[in-house]
Chain A
Amino acid sequence: MGDGTSIGRVRGLGSSHHGAHHWLTHRFTAIANLVLMSWFIISLLLLGDYSYASVIGWISQPLSSVAMMLLCANLFWHAQMGLQVLIEDYVHDPGMKFGVLTVLNLAAVGGGAFCIFSVATLAFGA
């Protein structure tokens, strides 16, 4: 490993071994999203009436609540992975990349937690 050219600095290091895991997890969450979003869209179409009482009556049922919480977790997970790849493709400055990825992770976990908590309050009738 040299310290001159950019290829010299990375030659011999091998892969970071995180790429395949990221790629596979992106697909696993995609499959889960396909299932959960199909449930979500069909449920909303069957619901028809989007008044407060109607939506609460639907979402607070145990099956709907659990599916909705899983959907929230899975959507934010999958979205975080997609945005991470976007950032890694276009933000090349190491410090900036670290900062943007940090903001992304905070937003993804925070948003997911807020959504799951919101569904929980509806499920428990608060």
Chain B
Amino acid sequence: MFITRTFAIVLRQAYLIRGSFSRLFPLFAWVAVDIVLWGFITKYLNSVTASGFNFVPVLLGAVLLWDFLIRVMQGVTMAFFEDVWSRNFLNIFATPLSISEYLGGLVISSIATSAVGLAVMFALATTVFGLSFMTYGLMIVPYLLTLFLCGIALGIFSSAVVLRMGPAAEWFIWPIPALISPFAGVFYPIATLPKWMQYVSELLPPSYVFEGMRAVVTGGSFSLSALLWGGCLAILYVLLAAWFFARTYRYAVRTGLLARYSAESVS
């Protein structure tokens, strides 16, 4: 594996973001809007409930973590879509670049872009709405790591879907986090869900993160082994997504889809 080849993919993304306001702006704008919106909602909820329960770490913290996962996923897919939009597959894949080097470049690009969003969210949530990360303690690290891995897995999987089904399949990709969120228990305990949805939740790494986060905040019992299981699931999904991408790429090379990508299918 050549690190310079991976760096080339990251550098390409850096050039594109640096020279384009429309790429730079979404890195922080929408997450900032989300934090402001949910920040005021939690403030309002705190004022109307007499229980004294603090919604800020539970709701605003959940929004922040969920938005982080979405940013990571979009960091991967956006870097991949740059090659789709500029019809660059022939140039990029007719080089010595391997699939692992290419995916490595997409992941590192995503780390950089999602870090911007995370920093903005942290800054807004703490300074404007008084969210204290001391509430989560050191557990914030495995929470972020698990969500990061899950976002990477979703990003690679989504890129493979677009590679297989053509540029129009982009529209399948954007709603994926929204489809997952009801099962992941972002805003409510998994126990709230009907039994069949709970079974699905058990397969989703974010559900372990959000359950753990709520337990820490409310001072309830927290299972470290459950979080560890969530982390292992996330690693498994990253490996499966990379395998799926490599398999899709081989299919595209075998059938001629890669060479005639704009046709969207080989039939």
Asked if chains A and B come from one complex, the reply is: no
